[in-house]
Structure 1
Amino acid sequence: MFLSRLSRHVKNQNWVAVVLDFIIVVAGIFVGLQVSNWSAKQQSIEIRNVYYQRLQADLKVDFDTISRRQQHFQQVMEYATTSLELLNSKDKVSQAEQWSKILALFQASQIWTFIPSSPTYSELQSTGSLNLIDQPKLLQALDLYYDNGSTQLNLVAGGSPEYRTHIRGKLPWNIQTYIWQYCHSRGAEHLDSQQLLDCKRDNFNRDYNQLITQLREDTKLKDNLRSWMSTIKITMELYKGLKEEIDNLNDLIEQQLPQSKLIGNKA
């Protein structure tokens, strides 16, 4: 229809009409491209916003996970402090206090690793979708948290401490199995859960002063315990720093989602 009308205008040498027809066509193409670009941009924004919300959900999981480990290592440090005082002392331990000291020696060796929940960030990387995030400050904060932060934590606290191997090689097996059964719990409601429990003295009716004396004479054991306590302290500082990074990430994401509700928790 357009071509026949254009041909008729050219045949009649109606150049004004020809020009108007071309203007209409060009304008139509321009408007169509603008609408297409706007639609594509809106779609990208919607996809990006979904990623932001998923990132917030992942960060909420990490915040709660770190909080549980902070409580855990605070308890482990208390057991470790009790154990170091015991090993440095020369006093005989009363029958009533022996079990709590033996329990402290074992529980001081407990660990709990942390791996960030990163399905969304990993998907952004693997699908080449990080370019959806057009805020350099947010991209830098994501890299700092998921790559540098977790790497630093694993370098410090990754693996099994020497004290853990050492004390578990010294304590009788029946004591260890008793502790695992009655003094430790893997929460039934949450897979990522463990509790160090106060428990009654074992029923072996044994005087542990001889064992305690042997452990006190083991200089390497005390060295390993002090080293492990230092690692715990650094680990606690790193956990605190990771939670601050989570808060910062949530704030940066919120700036991109002014209508959304903050998912992360403040420390």
Structure 2
Amino acid sequence: MILRRVMEHLRKQEWTAIGIDFVIVVLGVFLGIQVSNWNEAAADRRAESAYLSQLQGDLQRIESQVSEQREFEQFQARLAVRVGDIIADDRTAQRSLRIATGLTQLTMRRTLRTESPTFTDLQSSGNLEIISDSELRADIISYFFSARRLEAVIDKNNVYFVDEALLPFLRDHGYPARPWNDELMGMQSPQSGRSSGPFSGEIYAGRLFQSQGLSAVAGPGAPSWAPVTAQLAWRAYVSEGNVATAQNLLDATRALEARIERHLDGAHQ
């Protein structure tokens, strides 16, 4: 239509009309490009909002996991101190069983993993640039880099002080394993560390787990408790350090959640 009009104007040498037609064509192309850009930008903002909302959900799950890790490490540190007190002060008939129960629990540890499927998707798909705020984008990348480092700190502590130190020490010196008992120990363990249910009852009801089990190492003529209390001191020390590491990660997680929330609130206004 426009081309036919232009040709007609050219034959008649109607230069003003030709100029008007040219402006109309250029304006139409410009507006078409602008509309396309606006649509693309709107699609990007919708995608950004969806990604950040999903990331918020991941961070909430991470916050819950880190809180559980902190609670567990606090419990282990307090338990190490409690077992040390039992060794020093308890003269009751249940002393040996309480020591064995506490030592068994202290060989337990948790592995923390701050996984975010959303962040993994953003990285692998190359969609990180869809986050329009460059500072927020940098904060997200920095957070997950730091999270991996803090995870590694806790994991290395547990491998060195629990897996490769306390557990072999107790095993090699003949200290028996005993199931946890809140009433016996006067402490309520984190739910994730408990043994319960018919199967656990079946296993722990046997003679293997009913004897006191420390007479060979804690009876008359037994070696000093000093090596055990040294292990307990290290166990309390490493868990106390893990608590601080978990708290740092928890603070960073909450800060990033709040940062994303502010960005989303601003985008919706």
TM-score by length of 1: 0.80
TM-superposed CA distance for 1:224, in Å, is: 3.4
Q: 1:99 and 1:201 mapped to 2: Cα distance?
A: 15
Residue equivalent to 1:16: 16
3-state SS in 1 of match to 2:265: coil
3-state SS in 2 of match to 1:194: helix
Q: 1:14 and 1:216 mapped to 2: Cα distance?
A: 114
Q: 2:120 and 2:13 mapped to 1: Cα distance?
A: 64
Distance 1:63 1:34, change over 3 A: same
Residue equivalent to 2:264: 257
> Which amino acid is 1:70 matched to?
R
Residue equivalent to 1:166: 169
Q: Does 1:211 align with 2:213?
A: no
Residue equivalent to 1:229: 236
> Which amino acid is 2:252 matched to?
E
TM-superposed CA distance for 1:229, in Å, is: 1.8
Q: 2:53 and 2:103 mapped to 1: Cα distance?
A: 44
Distance 1:20 1:216, change over 3 A: farther
Q: 2:105 and 2:212 mapped to 1: Cα distance?
A: 20
- Equivalent positions of 1:50-89 (< 5 A) are 50-87=50-87, 89=88
Residue equivalent to 2:147: 149
Higher helix share: 2
Q: Does 1:245 align with 2:243?
A: no
Structure 2: tracts of 5 or more residues without a match: 183-190
Structure 1: tracts of 5 or more residues without a match: 185-192, 262-267
Residue equivalent to 1:99: 97
1:116-171 deviation line (CA, Å, top 9, x unaligned): 02211111111111111232332333233211233133134335221133224434
Report the more deviating stretch, 55-64 or 159-168: 159-168
Q: Whose RCO is larger (CA < 8 A, sep 6+)? A: 2
3-state SS in 2 of match to 1:257: helix
> Which amino acid is 1:36 matched to?
S
1:29-85 deviation line (CA, Å, top 9, x unaligned): 111111000000000111111110111010111111112222222221222112233
> Which amino acid is 1:167 matched to?
L
> Which amino acid is 1:129 matched to?
N
3-state SS in 1 of match to 2:108: coil
Q: 1:21 and 1:65 mapped to 2: Cα distance?
A: 66
Q: Give the 4+ runs in structure 1 shifted more than 6 A.
A: 197-202
Q: Is the Cα contact below 8 Å between 2:66 and 2:112 reproduced in 1?
A: yes
TM-superposed CA distance for 1:259, in Å, is: 7.6
Residue equivalent to 2:37: 37
Q: 1:103 and 1:163 mapped to 2: Cα distance?
A: 14
Q: Is the Cα contact below 8 Å between 1:163 and 1:221 reproduced in 2?
A: no
> Which amino acid is 2:101 matched to?
L
3-state SS in 1 of match to 2:94: helix
How many aligned positions are there?
246
TM-score by length of 2: 0.79
TM-superposed CA distance for 1:256, in Å, is: 1.7
User: What RMSD over aligned residues (CA atoms) do the two structures have, in Å?
Assistant: 3.1
Distance 1:13 1:171, change over 3 A: same
Residue equivalent to 1:2: 2
1:208-261 deviation line (CA, Å, top 9, x unaligned): 354236886365444333223221111101111111111111111112211899
3-state SS in 1 of match to 2:110: coil
Q: 2:20 and 2:170 mapped to 1: Cα distance?
A: 91
